[in-house]
Amino acid sequence: MPTSPRDLSPFKGKPLWEPDDKEWEDIDAIHISSTYKASFRDPRRCSPQKTTNASTLSRFSSTITSLLPFSPARLAAESRLCDEQELRDKLEELDNTYYSDPAGDLHDTVVASTFLSGSRYFRHDQAGRFARAPHVIDLERYFNTEDPLVGAAYPRLCSAVATILSHTNRECLEAFLDPRVAEFVYWREVDRSIAGNILLIRRKGNSVIAGSYRNLGFSLSWTLYVRASFSATGLWYETFASRVAGSSPIINGVPAWDTSIPINASFSFPVPSPFLPPPSSSQSQQSTVPLESSPRKILLASPTLPPQWTQGPKKDNEEENNTINPTDEKFVLYQSRVLARFFLRDIWIRFEGRYECKATWEVDGTVSEVRLRRAVVGFSGDNDDDG
C-alpha cells in the first residue's frame, strides 16, 4: 500500500512529453483515502524500534564528532549533521498527515517559496493567514526544483485554481472573480474523446466544486470531488472531499453538481421516466422520493449532517474508507492538495512538452474556449492579446 501521495503519482517514471488520459486512471478517491489513512502516523504512538534506531544513530553521530579535534572541520561536520537531521524531520512532517493543519502548516510554508509576487488579482498581505489565500505558483520553480522539501510539499486548492486561471486569459480570470457572475465553470478535457477524463472548476456564488469526472450522458462519474467556499476577504475553506468514487445525476440535461452518490449506492430517478417501467407497489414510495430528500446520497450543501445511504456489497477498501469522515478537516485538506497538484501537473507537462493545452469556460450560459499558455496574466508586462 502506498504511504504518501507521491506514491500515487501517475506521472512517476513517465517522460513529461507523453501526456495521455491514463495519467488519471488510477487516481481516485478510494486510493487517496487509503493513502491518507496510511500516512497518518501519531508520533506519540511511534514504534520503540524506530525510536531506538534514531537514538542509536544520534549517539553514533555524536561519538564520531566528539572524537574529532575542535576545529572548523568538526564544526562543519556537526553543522552538516544538524542540517541533515533537520531535513529528515521536515520531510517526515510533510509526509505525515498527522501534522497537517487547515490553518497553515509546513506544506504552506514550503510552497510559499514558489509564489509569484506582483499579481494584480491575488494580493494578500494578512500575516499568518496566507495559507487560506490564493496565490499564483511559479510552475517551473515548483516542478523543476532540486529542493527535496519543495518536491515533497503540496499546494492548496485555492492557489492551484488561481494559477490555472492565471494561465488562461484576462476575460476568463476576471469572470471567475466577478461577484456579478452567478455561475462560472471551467473544464479541461484531458483526453478529447467520448467519456474521456475531464477536470472541473465550478464556482456558484462563493462555493467552489473541483474534481475529475467522466460524462456518461446520464450522470457524471467522479474520481475526485472536493468542495470549498471562500469568504468576503478571499480566504478559502475546504469543506468536503468524497472518500469513494461517486456520481452526480444529470436531470433534464443539467448535472446535479451539489449531489454526490457513492459508488454501489442505490439510486432512483427523482421524476418518473417514460423509458422505465412503472415502479412496483413495494418500490413506489422509494422511487418517488425527491432527490433533495433522498437518504441514499450525500447532500454537500449540508456537510455537517452525517452521510447516510443504502449501499450494495462493498469491497474491503471501501469498508476501510467508511471510517473516514468526508468533512474531516485534515482529510479534506489532504485530498484537495492531491487534486491541486494533479491540476497543476496536468497543464505543466503540456507546457514542457510544447503540447497544445486548451480548456473551455462558461459564464452564465455563454461558452468560450481558451488556450492555456506559459505566460501568466495579471502581472506587470503581461501580454494578453490572444485568448
- Is there a contact between 51 and 18 (Cβ–Cβ < 8 Å)? no
Residue 189: HSE in the Cβ half-sphere, 13 Å Cα cutoff: 10
Buried b (16+ CB within 10 A) or exposed e, 312-337: eeeeeebeebeebebbeebbbbbbbb
Q: Which of 233-247, 280-294, 306-320 has the lowest mean pLDDT?
A: 280-294
Q: What pLDDT, on the 0 to 100 scale, is given for residue 166?
A: 97
Could you give the CA distance from residue 81 to residue 275 in angstroms, rounded to a whole number?
A: 71
Q: Is 111 in contact with 90 (CB distance < 8 Å)?
A: no
Could you tell me how far CA 290 lies from the centroid of its own chain?
Answer: 31
Asked whether the beta carbons of 199 and 190 are under 8 A apart, the reply is yes
Crossing angle of the two packed helices 157-166 and 329-352, in degrees rounded to 10: 30
pLDDT tens for 79-95 read: 778 878 899 999 999 99
| pTM of the predicted structure, to 2 decimals | 0.74
Highest mean pLDDT among 52-56, 240-244, 315-319: 240-244
Tell me the pLDDT tens digit for each residue of 185-194: 999 998 766 6
Q: CB–CB of 210/222 below 8 Å?
A: no
What are the CA-CA distances from residue 287 to residues 167, 219, 277, 282 (Å)?
46, 18, 12, 10
H-state helical runs in 40-103 = 48-67, 72-95
pLDDT of residue 69: 60
Q: What is the pLDDT of residue 103?
A: 94
User: Could you report the per-residue pLDDT of 17-31, keeping only the tens digit for each?
Assistant: 444 545 555 567 888
Higher-confidence residue of 99 and 275: namely: 99
pLDDT reading at 255 higher than 60: yes
Average pLDDT over residues 37-61: 64
Gap between the Cα atoms of 23 and 190, Å rounded: 9
Higher pLDDT, 193 or 98: 98
Question: Domain limits of the chain?
Answer: 16-42+93-371
Residue 44's pLDDT is 80
Q: Bigger pLDDT: 276 or 121? A: 121
183 has a pLDDT exceeding 70: yes
Backbone angles phi, psi at 255, to 5 degrees: -65, 140
Compute the residue count for the chain.
387
- DSSP 8-state secondary structure symbol assigned to residue 212: E
Mean pLDDT of the residues in the chain? 77
- Please report, for residues 86, 94, 261, 346, the alpha-carbon distance to residue 59 in angstroms, rounded to integers and kept in the order given: 16, 25, 54, 45
**66 phi and psi, to 5 degrees?**
-70, -25
pLDDT of residue 382: 74
Residue 170 CA to residue 386 CA, distance in Å, equals 10
Q: What is the pLDDT of residue 193?
A: 63
Query: For residue 364, what are the contacts with CB-CB under 8 A and spacing of at least 6?
Result: 181, 182, 183
